[in-house]
Amino acid sequence: MAKTLRIWLASLTFLGFMLLFFDPSEEAVLAKSLSWLASLQLVPAILAGSFLLVALLLIVTALFGRIYCSVLCPLGVLQDIFGACVIWRKYTYSEGHPILRLVFLILFLAAFLLGIPVLFGILEPYSAFGRITTYFGEPITRMAANGVEWIAQSCGVLLLYPQTVIVGSESTLIVAGSTLAILLFFALTRGRIWCTAICPVGTVLGFLSRHALIRPRIKADACVHCGRCASVCKANCIDAKYGTIDASRCLSCWNCSSVCQKDALHFLPAKEKVQGSTVDRDGRRVTLVALASLLAYPVEKVFAAEEHDVAAIQYKERRLHDMPLLPPGALGQTHFSSRCTGCQLCVSACPHSVLRAYDRGKGALQPSMTFEYGYCHTNCVLCGTVCPTGAIRPVSVSQKAKIQVGRAFVLRHTCVVAVDRVSCTACQRVCPTGAIRLVSTEEPKIPFVDTEKCIGCGACEYICPARPFAAIQVKSVEEHRTLWSQCVHCLRVIQSDGLFP
């Protein structure tokens, strides 16, 4: 019954995470209601300052072992799903990898303390799951939906509409693809060795589970050393020959106790210390596979040409600036880079396809705003609502309208007004704060940006017809600030409406 309960709880948790990242509702209702799932992850809880929750997770691990890895961690459940595809797989006992585990833990802690979010985000399990889901699962889902829409349209049913397939940048695809390849290889051949030899969160929890109050024990007088328990142990921690279990690697899946025919294996309070192995025989193989996977062929974005009698569409390209453009609530570069793990939950939740992973410097893999597919609407505050680490603080709609995250500037040599001598007022019409004016002594007029009113929402850059790069672009500011001119404007509106004297 314990195994069945674990499977049901893990399935519900994984389903919740899939709905969290693949929210089909237009208002992101599921993402808002299920955002607490992301807050249950250990590293995001630490970064968010939820120390009561962290203490609860550690106490549960000290009492019952690594239940967190089997039930709450979506990356662990994903490996179980991969492993279940090989129904004939029989596991065998292998020595532990203490040196390898310690190396990855030191790298993880050093990246956190030194402020290297790229390495920190690669090793953090929840963030790894988020990248795989966002940059592989979501595009595949949208392409499948577009296939259904094409079939329906061919049959004369016009109720569906095509969805835009957004492919991640090269760096995020390489990292997410490499992680997925390693997970798939290990899950199909060696079980959950990622959790027992690489994952730094698993290593920390393993220190506690080694001395857990309730951990697996083998009764020497009842065990016949048949090896059935070892054959189903996906952590490869049961040595049936000598009747020992490395409790630091045990994932509390209860597969072993369900197959023992002699009732020799129990999860009871232990009276003697379970000895774990300290020999590292497979560290070389893990390292070689990791290095080989990092050379995975990057997925490229290919746009098909139109038919012969129609001109090919020239799409707007993304221009990278020196600093990433962060959403309102991020406060600034210092606060955001120290807390964001790059889980990409805000990227999946963004209803306007504004957030994507950055490609430069130590902020790589962390989300930033780009405006090829949309702009940051002033009435949307979803990213701060779903962020589990507090990297993007929750803000209200009225607060967001006054936060300056960047400043727009005009590239006059590419503006269609100066190049083609045509009248264009697109940027002025969409600016929500009235920061863009058309000024010139002669017609047509050229746009001018008032930086004391611009909040950096990107509406002007998104609507600009210039190609391949927009003629008006938003450049980030290092630290976000409140525009008091916008506050004074709002105050005047309130006073004119008679809401307060």
Do residue 283 and residue 341 come from a single domain? no
What sign results for the dihedral spanned by CA atoms 375, 381, 386, 387?
A: positive
Does a structural domain hold residue 263? yes
Helix, strand counts (H, E) of the chain: 25, 10
Tally of CB atoms within 10 A around 284:
10
Torsion, Cα 238 243 244 245, to 10 degrees, reads 30
Tell me the two tokens of residue 9. Answer: 């709880």
Which domain-ending residue is among 264, 287, 310? 287
**Is residue 296 in a domain?**
no
Residue 325 lies in a domain: no
The CA–CA distances, whole Å, from 154 to 146, 147, 159, 432 equal: 12, 11, 12, 40
Nearest to 43 by CA among 101, 122, 99, 97: 122
The answer as to whether 294 is a domain residue is no
Residue 455 token pair: 């909040």
User: Do the beta carbons of residue 430 and residue 479 sit within 8 Å?
Assistant: no
Q: Find out whether the peptide bond into 468 is cis, omega within 30 degrees of 0.
A: yes
The count of domains in the chain is 2
* Domain boundary residue, one of 268, 287, 306: 287
Question: What are the C-alpha distances in Å from 214 to residues 7, 199, 404, 443?
Answer: 19, 23, 53, 81
Question: In a structure prediction context, what are the per-residue pLDDT tens digits for the chain, which is 501 residues long?
Answer: 788 899 999 999 999 999 888 876 666 777 888 889 999 999 999 999 899 999 999 999 999 999 999 999 999 999 999 988 887 778 888 888 889 999 999 999 998 888 888 888 899 999 999 999 988 888 888 788 788 888 888 887 777 777 777 777 778 888 999 999 999 999 988 889 999 999 999 999 999 998 888 888 888 888 888 888 999 999 999 998 888 899 899 998 888 888 888 888 877 675 544 333 333 334 434 433 333 443 333 333 333 333 334 444 566 666 666 788 999 999 998 899 889 999 999 998 898 889 988 877 777 889 999 998 899 998 999 999 999 999 999 999 999 999 999 999 998 888 998 888 888 889 999 999 999 998 876 678 889 999 889 999 999 999 999 888 889 999 999 899 988 755 544 544 444 444 333
CATH of the domain at 434: 3.30.70.20
Please tell me whether residues 352 and 283 are part of one structural domain. Answer: no
Question: Would residue 318 count as lying in a domain?
Answer: no
Q: What pLDDT does residue 491 have?
A: 45
Does residue 242 share a domain with residue 354? no
Stated pTM of the model? 0.79
Instruction: Note the pLDDT of residue 270.
Output: 53
In this structure, the answer to whether residues 337 and 282 fall within a common structural domain is no
Looking at the structure, tell me whether residues 280 and 339 fall in a common domain. Answer: no
278 and 351: one domain? no
pLDDT of the residue at 154:
83
Residue 283: predicted pLDDT: 40
Does 467 reside within a domain?
Answer: yes
CA distance 186 to 183: 5
Is there a single domain that holds both residue 155 and residue 76?
yes
478 in the same domain as 340: yes
One domain, residues 215 and 148? yes
Specify whether the CB–CB gap between 432 and 459 falls below 8 A.
yes
- What is the C-alpha separation between 157 and 162, in angstroms, rounded? 13
Which residue in 33, 364, 40 sits closest to 176, CA to CA? 364
Do 34 and 150 share a domain, yes or no?
Answer: yes
Using the 8-state DSSP alphabet, how is residue 191 labeled? S
3-class state of residue 74 by DSSP: helix
One domain, residues 55 and 156 = yes
Are 109 and 246 members of one domain?
yes
Write down the pLDDT at residue 450: 92
Full domain range(s) for residue 470: 333-496
pLDDT of residue 272: 46
Give the domain-ending residue among 267, 287, 307.
Answer: 287
Classify the phi-psi angles of 361: left when phi > 0, otherwise alpha if psi is within -120 to 50, otherwise beta: left
Instruction: Determine how many CB atoms are found less than 10 A away from the CB of residue 500.
Output: 7
